[in-house]
Structure 1
Amino acid sequence: MNDVTVTVSGNTGSTPVLHLNAAKNLEWTTFRVATSRRYMNENGDWTDGPTLWFTVKAWRAAAANVVESVHKGVPVVVTGRLDVDEWTGPDGQQRTGLVIHATAVGVDATRGKVGFTRVVHHDTVPDGAPVTRVGSGELAAARPGDADPFALDALASGSAGDVRGDEDDPGDDAGVGQRELVNA
């Protein structure tokens, strides 16, 4: 592949809106991001360079998460495939714009306090059991003893970091290995 992958840090210039193509059962969102390079001029003062504008497109579950998490004016970091959109403007002139097909969108924690909530998608099989996706995406019932998709067992045992029990009492292992949705 000869795709150009970029990472852009900037501010959102519009609030993302969720769109749905009902025929294809496909959700997507677009929003604008502005970024300006800062540089030191010949007098030694920091100066803003020209502003570059990008349209960001996100698809499927990422689109829904972006709509819930990002609003106009929020500092973001976006990574994705760079593309150019071409269209004819209302004045009949040919126009172009830079587009990032996002593979990752995050609120920039270096510029403010950020909260995180993991989204867990729960599918069901006919008998109502929780499921996991295997191979080509078919559903299979999750069984006790299946691999932990978030590696929480490894964290609780200390092999992927020392996360044990009550942080106020390192000898207290109560609750180690319990799973719950956590806001970080």
Structure 2
Amino acid sequence: MTLSGNLTRDPQRRIGSRTGEPFAVLAMAVNSRRFDRETKQWVVTGTTYFDLLCWGRTGANVLASLHKGDPVVVHGRFRLNEWSSENGSGVNATIDVDSIGPDLTFGTAPFTRGSASYGLERVEEYNPGEPEDVQPDQEAPAAQEPEDDDPAHLADRDGVLDDDAAAEVLARSA
């Protein structure tokens, strides 16, 4: 099954009760939408929630890379997971993830080859806002000059490409 949606919370590190191996758990919301011809807008008609289980290196990389609110595309095996507690019982829709990544329909993302580990520390240094040592009335320090074949220099400070820049990136890849 392949789904696209948004993470509803930060990934969490868990330990398997049978294996003792670490893995990552995520929660994702998938909206059903339709186009309303009267208002000429897309309307959300329902939301389905999925638990995502990421094993091995995939789980470690997810912990180091993804955050609440990120749009993602997930491919994996669907199953229903029954549960019960003193407060009641229910069924969760669960995906055992084979592949996961950011949904580039909604933005751009850098990719770094390699793998993260399941160390107890998460990569919390990520901050898409201003650098901490910059005062609000100061300019941010100049970024390192990108390589000629790196399209990152075409993006604005939020990483968004305008139509002309996107056309240039597409032309380079042809």
Same fold (TM over 0.5): yes
Q: CA deviation at 1:90?
A: 3.7
- Greater share of helix: 2
Write the distance in 1 (CA, Å) between the matches of 2:16 and 2:108.
Answer: 34
Is residue 2:46 matched to residue 1:50? yes
Q: Is the 8 A contact 1:27 1:61 kept in 2?
A: no
In structure 1, the partner of 2:139 is: none
Question: Does structure 1 residue 115 correspond to structure 2 residue 115?
Answer: no
Indicate how the Cα distance of structure 1 residues 25 and 51 shifts in structure 2: closer, same or farther if over 3 A, else same. same
Contact 1:57/1:100 (8 A) holds in 2? yes
Greater radius of gyration (CA): 1
Say if 2:101 is the partner of 1:106.
Answer: yes
Q: Scaled by the length of structure 1, what TM-score is found?
A: 0.57
SS in 1 for 2:63: helix
Question: What residue in structure 1 maps to residue 6 of structure 2?
Answer: 11
67-76 or 34-43: bigger deviation = 34-43
Q: Is the alpha carbon distance of 1:88 and 1:103 closer, same or farther for their aligned partners in structure 2, counting shifts above 3 Å?
A: same
Per-residue CA deviation, residues 135-158 of structure 1 (Å, 9 max, x unaligned), is xxxxxxxxxxxxxxxxxxxxxxxx
Counterpart check, 1:35 vs 2:52: no
**Could you give the per-residue CA deviations for residues 46-92 of structure 1, whole angstroms, max 9, x where no partner exists?**
21111110000010111100101111000000010000010114423
- The CA RMSD over aligned residues, in Å, is 2.3
**How far apart, CA to CA, are the structure 2 residues paired with 1:80 and 1:12?**
16
**Corresponding residue of 2:87:** 91
**2:56 aligned to which of 55, 60, 74:** 60
Sort the Cα spacing of 1:39 and 1:25 in 2 relative to 1 into closer, same or farther, 3 A.
Answer: same
For residue 113 of structure 1, report the CA deviation from its aligned partner.
1.6
% identity of equivalent residues? 31
Residue identity opposite 2:107 in structure 1: G
Question: Aligned partners of 1:25, 1:37: CA distance in 2, in Å?
Answer: 37
Separation in structure 2 between the aligned mates of residue 120 and residue 64 of structure 1, nearest angstrom: 7
Contact residue 89 and residue 95 of structure 1 kept, 8 A: no
Paired letter, 2:62: V
Q: Gaps (5+ residues) in structure 2?
A: 117-147, 150-174
Moved segments of 4+, more than 4 Å:
none
Superposition TM-score, scaled by structure 2 size: 0.60
Aligned ranges 1:124-163 → 2 under 5 Å: none
After superposition, the Cα gap between the structure-2 partners of 1:84 and 1:38, relative to the gap in structure 1 and judged at 3 Å, is same
Consecutive unaligned residues in structure 1, runs of 5 or more = 1-5, 122-165, 168-184
The 2-side partners of 1:98 and 1:22 are apart by: 20
User: Contact between 2:34 and 2:44, CA under 8 Å: does it hold in 1?
Assistant: yes
CA distance in 2, matches of 1:38, 1:31: 22
